[in-house]
Amino acid sequence: MYRVLITDDLSKSALALLQDTPGIEVDVRSGKHTPEQVREYLKDADGIIIRSATRLTPEVLKDQPRLKVIVRAGVGVDNIDLPAATREGIVVMNTPAGNTTSTAEQAMALLLAMARNIAPACASMKAGKWDKKSFTGTQLAGKAIAVIGLGRIGLTVARRCLAFEMKVLGYDPFLSEERARNEGIELYRDIDELVGKCDFLTVHTPMTPETQGLINATRIAKMKKGVRLINGARGGIIDEAALLAALQSGHVAAAALDVFVEEPPKDWTLAQHPQVLSTPHLGASTEEAQELVSIEATEIITGFLLRNEVRHAMNMVPVSAAEMAVIQPYLDLGRRLGLLLAQLNKGGGVRKATLNFRGEAASMKTQLIASAFASGLLANAMADDVNIVNADLLAKERGIEIKEELSNETGDFSTLVSATIVTDNGEITAAGTIFGKQFLRLVRLDQFHLDAYLDGLLLLYRHIDRPGVIGYIGTVCGQHSVNIAHMALGRERNEPGGDAIAVLNLDNEPDSTTLAEVAKNPAVTGVELVKLPKAGEPLPWLVCR
């Protein structure tokens, strides 16, 4: 049974949907909470759904042994410390689709109301005045609007602006030129080239270190005198001090703001400026949006907990339930190769790891498999709980570069994942494949090709290929009641006398005396015991912790 904590308001229908889902237990904590209270609640939670009221700080998220997933019912994740969640191995997801229309409509409402001076005209009427001359506006048709950020909301706004016969200029580093042409948008890759050509400008980017202050004093100075700005995305994307100065100088004719750096503002100077149309972050404040984001949040968290589905993740590669069913054996293979190489590395610092994906493996989401490999490589070397979410970050912090190479060529196997680690003591290589849909095999270890089971206890027996060596190890294991379940042999060249290796899958662990006796044979050059998960053992991140 998975427990989901709810600390902010969800719609009644969404809450009922979650409570009626088999396998899910809901812990509803209504009202205001201190960080200490939230931290305490999370100790018994597998997942949490929040809105904007709950703040998940590093202190709240630190050492939560059970928490696996955070879902923000909304677009922004400003109230979640994303690096802290990633370090703790917690997946963070949001609900970008639910409030797209409402947020875009709010931007259009701001645009229209600002252009036609609706708010001050209404206030004048409320005061009993009939003053037409003071509120002359400007029409949208024929004007150029710059849409900064052409994601889901930005594109929705752009389409509505085109319906008002506006010329839409767009900036987005990822949207293709072909898609922009099809949408009727004149695409720019340089904001500085764009800002001087627009009559209106609206921002629709996430808040990141790169987008904070994106529209600053320098860029505002490049704009036409009389430009009008809209921010319905996140406070701070348009520099508030620079905007206020431009309004006071008359360079910016007007601004419409639904968001602020501090909400509510401590300094109301900008919000109360006569040329600013301001609203209290109403972008998603419609009945429809509140309902949709709540339902979407419940669907996302149940999909993750019950079907290992990752949708709209902020710190992990998204993967559907269908994709997870296909890729799960590859994640297991990657993790086991990481565990194997970590144990074969005798004290040398790992500097680099290269993963080569061949055949069917190359068509998978290889970044996830690489993350699974990294989690295995680091599993026994760190006090932190390492999983597929935080493994890449922890590897980078330890100075380990993880590189991927892809090839559609199949070679001897229809699918193959090969991993090589570069350590202070040299290189170690291991390669694995999948037989059928679930049987994991070790098919290469350094220069040796073989066919060993990649599970349980593995005794690696390096020796000179001469008669009697294999019989000797079998005899020693028998004398010490160590049962051999499977044996695979590999040798450097296809003739006796060279270096060889035997990989034995054991049913029970040999003690130090047994290993020492195995190593006594003069033909033996090395004996190593590797411990891997048992066959079919589930991945630790895909089960309730």
Residues designated catalytic: 234, 263, 281
d(CA 536, CA 545): 18
d(CA 336, CA 213): 45
d(CA 450, CA 133): 88
Structure tokens, 296 = 């979407």
**CA angle in degrees (0–180, nearest 5) for 375-381-383:** 90
Residue 401: helix, strand or coil by DSSP?
A: strand
User: What one-character DSSP code corresponds to residue 30?
Assistant: -
Return the number of other C-beta atoms located less than 10 Å from residue 133's C-beta. 5
Relative to beta strand 426-435, strand 439-445 is antiparallel
Q: Are 319 and 372 in contact (CB under 8 A)?
A: no
Q: For residue 343, what are the CA distances in angstroms to 86, 353, 482?
A: 26, 15, 21
d(CA 251, CA 285): 32
For 408, residues 6+ apart whose C-beta sits below 8 A from its C-beta are: 358, 359, 362, 363
Q: For residue 165, what are the CA distances in angstroms to 86, 136, 178, 522?
A: 44, 20, 21, 87
Relative to beta strand 415-423, strand 24-28 is unpaired
Structure tokens, 312 = 């709209």
Tell me whether the omega of the peptide bond preceding residue 264 falls within 30 degrees of 0, making it cis.
Answer: yes
Radius of gyration of the chain (CA): 30
